[in-house]
Amino acid sequence: MTETGRGRERTFDAIILIIFDMMMLESAFLATYWFRFYSGFWLVPLGIPPMGMYLGFSALILAVFFCIFYVSGMYTLRGGRTLVDDLLGLFKGAALAGLLVLAMTFFLNRMAFSRSFFGLFFLSTFGFLTVGRILARILLRSVLHQGRTGIRTLVVGTSPMRRRLLHLVRELPGLSIRPVGWLTTPDDSTDDVQTEAPEQATILDASGRRRVTPAVGEIPLLGDVADVRSLVLENHIDLVVLTVPFEQLPLVKKVALELANLNVDLQFVPDLMALHTSRMRLKEIGGIPFISVREEALSGVDRIVKRVFDLVATGLGLIFLLPLLAGLALLVKISSPGPVFYRQARMGRDGAEFDMIKFRTMRTDAELQSGPVWTTESDPRITPIGSVLRRFSLDEFPQLWNVLRGDMSLVGPRPERRVFVEEFSRKMPRYFERHRVQSGLTGWAQVHGLRGNTSIEDRTLYDLYYMENWSLGLDIRILLMTIHHVLRGENAY
């Protein structure tokens, strides 16, 4: 694909998303108008207002929504946005647009708009927009872009962040990023290449000759960074990602010069593992850029907002889940001898221990001989009903009581027993920093498949990312992702 073609394609994607969003907003507007004034469910004591007046105002509403969605980036970087990202963006944008439009109606009292109409309209917008965004994605992927491989990405370097990037692409199929190959750098040793790339793949080199080369996971080694410009052109690359250690920072400038005048994006992924952090923030003070490597986990007001959200969400959840909890308790009681609930000391915020509550899923003498050990797949200690509860994480529901007590939060790093915390802290220098925030019922690591007997290093990095990037929106996103992963039952045993 030519450079001009790639630019047109990205513009076309944005146009499709805009059209679908505006169509669904107008559909929500018309459906609300019919429901409010013609369905018979609502009284219309002052008569049905003229539709023309409402349609004229709908154009202004669409303009408000478009401006908010545009400013919040809903029509850019589609390849870096999953469906969950889109839905969260739609929810926040619709809420803000609703407040702005309702404020506008108070300044237009002479036109006598129905307040209940706008209330119904904004209640329906998120549902309509969700359907529209799903349909737009299906259209773009299945119909208009048949044979397209997404954002063709070339990865440079062998830093640990490259492995995390490839893992992210595999774990989030909603991303349109498609790594097609990788390049070595002058400072990459032969051991690094062989360790990272035990497999082989047949590819074309810069001169067009076929050759067999090592491959990193599923992506082939295309050559050296010295040939980056020619390889970008030959492989129709849209994005080059530099995953090099800080010692190779001059390489960023060199590659940028090599790619000058090409319609290709260049991004640098810093080796955050070398700094034992999860992200960097760029701030500007008086025109001087500051890169923040570490910041406070949660500020005072953040803790208040998070606690209020936990109490409200947990209280509502317990009201709806009480019948289910009662049924599960009965199943545990009649399935095997022993108590319904299992209490275990776990380490929470600031190293304080608390009794975490779960439905009992093992025999009462499970650790009598083995002592504290990790649960394994097909563990003989698990009861038959316990395996079902673990498969769908139903055994975790009693921890809602821990959330109400303040021992835990709905979202946060999963708590471990002291013996494991001490062991992991010796292996990971920053492991104990997970305890700077409240432990959680679910977490950022868990919704990325890192639960059970998985890499402690990866889990720690995901937990640190959560701490350093906390927001209420991120908590809501994790809770929505948890539902999906619970149904998949990934690493749940």
- Indicate whether 165 and 139 sit together in one domain: no
Q: Which domain holds residue 189?
A: 151-275
Query: For residue 336, is it within any domain?
Result: yes
Query: For residue 285, is it within any domain?
Result: no
Query: pTM, whole model, 2 decimals?
Result: 0.52
- Indicate whether 450 and 325 sit together in one domain: yes
- Indicate whether 167 and 139 sit together in one domain: no
Query: For residue 468, is it within any domain?
Result: yes
Angle between helices 115-138 and 3-37 (to 10 degrees): 150
Query: For residue 60, is it within any domain?
Result: yes
Q: Distance between CA atoms of 489 and 389, rounded to whole angstroms? A: 11
End-to-end CA distance of the chain: 46
pLDDT averaged per 10 residues, the chain (length 493): 52 83 91 82 71 82 89 69 78 85 68 71 88 85 59 84 78 70 76 45 37 52 89 88 85 89 86 66 74 70 90 91 89 84 89 90 65 59 79 86 93 90 82 87 86 75 84 89 73 52
- Indicate whether 180 and 77 sit together in one domain: no
pLDDT at 274: 66
In 3D space, the residue among 93, 110, 109, 118 whose CA is nearest the CA of residue 37 turns out to be 118
- The token pair at 457 is 């290093």
Domain closes at, from 123, 144, 165: 144
- Indicate whether 412 and 336 sit together in one domain: yes
- Indicate whether 334 and 483 sit together in one domain: yes
pLDDT at 212: 37
Query: For residue 290, is it within any domain?
Result: no
Query: For residue 283, is it within any domain?
Result: no
Q: Do 20 and 132 touch, CB atoms closer than 8 A?
A: yes
**CA dist 108 to 104, 122, 123, 129, 424, Å?**
7, 18, 21, 26, 62
Type and span of the H or E element at 293: none
Number of domains in the chain: 3
Q: Distance between CA atoms of 169 and 178, rounded to whole angstroms? A: 8
- Indicate whether 19 and 77 sit together in one domain: yes
Domain closes at, from 260, 275, 290: 275
Query: For residue 306, is it within any domain?
Result: yes
Q: What is the CATH number of the domain that holds 261?
A: 3.40.50
Domain closes at, from 144, 173, 190: 144
- Indicate whether 266 and 399 sit together in one domain: no
- Indicate whether 109 and 175 sit together in one domain: no
- Indicate whether 195 and 134 sit together in one domain: no
pLDDT at 307: 93
**Radius of gyration (C-alpha) of the chain in whole angstroms:** 27
Query: For residue 128, is it within any domain?
Result: yes
pLDDT at 205: 38
Sheet holding 199-204, edge to edge: 199-204, 210-216, 219-224, 177-184, 151-156, 239-242, 265-268
- Indicate whether 174 and 78 sit together in one domain: no
Q: Distance between CA atoms of 487 and 396, rounded to whole angstroms? A: 14
- Indicate whether 483 and 414 sit together in one domain: yes
